[in-house]
Amino acid sequence: DGRQFIKNAPEGKYDYVIHDVFTGGGVPPSLFSLEALQDIQRIMKHDGVLALNMVGSENPIKAQALNSVRRTLHTAFKHVVAFKESPEDPDAYQNMVFFAAQFPIEFETYVPPPVPSEEEWKEVQRQREQGHAGHALRPSVMRDWILTSFQEWHLSTPYDPTMGELILDRNNTLNGMQRPGAEDHWHAMRGLLPLEFWMNY
């Protein structure tokens, strides 16, 4: 159990904590409570960073879970920045990533690497023929696009501390808040795979 691990982990040990526990419709509420996030903050180094993934919507009708996670994160950490998967549709349920720390978070400007020369490509091919990975020089259009544009993908709605609930162990209502998103996710998955798949698996 993740809670047991962070409860027993030594203080100030980790540079980074990657918090990605989406289960296909929702997230486990116990890993998003204030107490859980405070335990994570405790086991991080003073300059450590938490990266937390969730699925949510900025649509005010559907944003209760998102607003509550934001409020709880801002209570546990001094600085939080958030990005979404796609800037085009603020109403859609989509992946969101929060970066949280006890210091202001700034991202360096990404500069795409130069295109490898012909000689470098030949060296990559030679390494492949010898059974080595030989892919370090291969350019990635997707990586370059994401790293050069993701800072434009901040959440559209500014953080408002009066929106959402503080998620606490003693009164954790995140499960209920996630129901609309879980239903949307179910319908989306039903569109991707036929009914027979779900009936059999």
Element spanning 81, H or E: strand 79-84
Distance CA 107, CA 151 (A): 8
Look up 20 and say whether it is catalytic.
yes
What whole-number distance in Å separates Cα of residue 47 and Cα of residue 104? 10
Q: Which helix (H) or strand (E) holds 98?
A: strand 94-101
Helix runs in 150-201, H state only: 174-177, 179-192, 195-200
What is the CA angle 122-147-88, rounded to 5?
A: 130
For 60, the 3-state DSSP assignment is: coil
The values of phi and psi at residue 161, to 5°, are -65, -10
Catalytic residue (one of 1, 15, 20, 89) = 20
Q: Whole-angstrom Cα distance, residue 46 to residue 83? A: 23
Residues annotated as part of the active site: 20
